[in-house]
Amino acid sequence: MDVNFLRTFVAVVDQGSMAAASRLLNISPSAIAQQLQALERELGAPLIVRVGRTVRMTEQGGRILTHARQLVRDATGLKSIANDAAVSGELRLGACPTPLTGMLPEILARVSFRFPDVQVHIQSGNSAQLYAEVESGNLDAAFVLEAPYPLPKTCDWRMLREEPLITLAPVHLAHHSPHELLANQPLIRYDRKLWGGRHADEYLRRHHIVPHERFELNALNAIAVMVDRGLGVSLVPDWSPPWPEGISIVRLPLPTVEIGRRIGVVWSRGTIRLRLVKVLLEEASAASTLAKHRLAAQ
């Protein structure tokens, strides 16, 4: 089976028409049609039905789409492995919200500058979901929070950033102690279903602080905005920028350093794109070191 025919099938489905797939792949519409017909003959089933100027997948096409995508990706990865002179291929990454908007853009800029032939597909999600995707082989690596359980032997982990817990408060409360604020002001709680939120809740319990809870949110930027509006205080990890613009709040350190969460990269040891993962790890470590130097200089 010709992998190029599978690539054409995937492109037609993704683009929604043979004309759009023709422009993407830089081959004629007639060649697109011929390749699809050849693939259908080989599989013994119709895959695409024309509907005016657009196309629709058949039931049989829907059954093979995920497998076709995987075969196309693996073929691209094999090219990268075979060609020692150049780093190329597609890297399938996951990212939870904080690194997706924080550290990942800088890392990808470094990767793209040094290795322009590397294509990156990014899937967002929470850390628990992304760990499962890496373990199942659907993703090569993911930027996630450190898991609160041992990883399987098929995966590896590298920490990039530690985030201590801090108290967020409106500026006019900056002269109060963090524990006093957490005990007496309305609390905008970081969601306890999230790993970082659990650490914050455990800290409150250990220090016998019973807060007056007002809201519970799973979005750190939204918590910061609510603190700015005077709706309460919060106990959160000191997350990396960007922060919401135009807010006026203080970030108060706790009496002792308490790590709220650790962010890093988890990857599959068995991926055929391990070479690309190592490139990613090198650039992630370099970007992390640079960020620490910038922070120290402030």
Sketch out the chain's domains with CATH numbers.
3-82 (1.10.10.10), 89-161+262-297 (3.40.190.10), 162-261 (3.40.190.10)
- The residues with which 262 forms a beta bridge, in sequence order, are 162
pLDDT at 249 over 80: yes
Instruction: Report which secondary-structure segment, H or E, holds 274.
Output: helix 274-297
Q: For helices 104-114 and 274-297, give the axis angle rounded to 10 degrees.
A: 120
Residue 49 is predicted with a pLDDT of 85
In this prediction, residue 51 carries a pLDDT of: 80
Q: Which residue has 């319990």 as its token pair? A: 205
Omega into 242 within 30° of 0, i.e. cis?
A: yes
Q: Is the confidence at residue 188, as pLDDT, over 60?
A: yes
- What pLDDT, in 10s, does the model give residues 4-18? 888 888 888 888 888
- 296 pLDDT band, cuts 50/70/90, is low
End-to-end CA distance of the chain: 58
Give the least confident one: 10-14, 150-154, 232-236, 293-297: 293-297
pLDDT digits (tens, 9 = 90+) for 69-105: 878 777 766 665 555 555 667 888 999 988 998 889 9
Q: How confident is the model at residue 236 (pLDDT cuts 50, 70, 90)?
A: very high
- Among residues 164, 171, 193, 194, which one has the least CA distance to residue 255? 164
Q: Of 261, 53, 289, 241, which Cα lies nearest the Cα of 164?
A: 261
pLDDT at position 180: 96
pLDDT, mean of residues 136-155? 90
Question: What is the separation of C-alpha 155 from the centre of its chain, rounded to a whole number of angstroms?
Answer: 17
Confidence of residue 114 (pLDDT cuts 50, 70, 90): confident
- Which residues are CB-neighbours of 172 under 8 A, at least 6 positions away? none
